[in-house]
């Protein structure tokens, strides 16, 4: 059965997820900037994967930021808001 939580607990959980997403974003940003080891033919693949994960965490952080602080992050270019 699903656990029932109040709004304060839900906000705490969202903020905890937001902190985690920020940490992961920093980790993947750093990995995306690392140069490929010399002589490693798959080094470019690791950088591409890191960049992909970085983009995914950027999206997660933006969504969680908007949940916690609605309207404080500006409209994205090309949006109708």
- Buried (b) or exposed (e) across 3-42, using 16+ Cβ within 10 A? eeeeeeeeeeeeeeebeebeebbeebeeebeeeeeeeeee
Question: What percent of the chain stands above pLDDT 70?
Answer: 81
Cα–Cα distance measured from residue 75 to residue 81, given in angstroms and rounded to the nearest whole number: 6
Q: What pLDDT does residue 47 have?
A: 83
Which of 4-8, 35-39, 45-49, 58-62 has the lowest average pLDDT? 35-39
User: Mean of the pLDDT values across residues 34-56?
Assistant: 80
Structural domain boundaries enclosing 21: 11-33+45-68
In a domain, 3, yes or no: no
Number of domains in the chain: 1
Residue 60 lies in a domain: yes
């Amino acid at each position: 059965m699903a656990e029932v939580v109040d709004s304060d607990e839900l906000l705490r959980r969202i903020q905890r997820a937001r902190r985690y997403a920020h940490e992961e974003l920093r980790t993947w940003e750093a990995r995306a900037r690392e140069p490929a080891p010399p002589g490693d033919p798959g080094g470019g693949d690791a950088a591409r994967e890191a960049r992909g994960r970085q983009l995914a965490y950027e999206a997660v952080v933006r969504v969680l930021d908007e949940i916690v602080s609605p309207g404080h992050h500006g409209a994205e270019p090309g949006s109708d808001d």
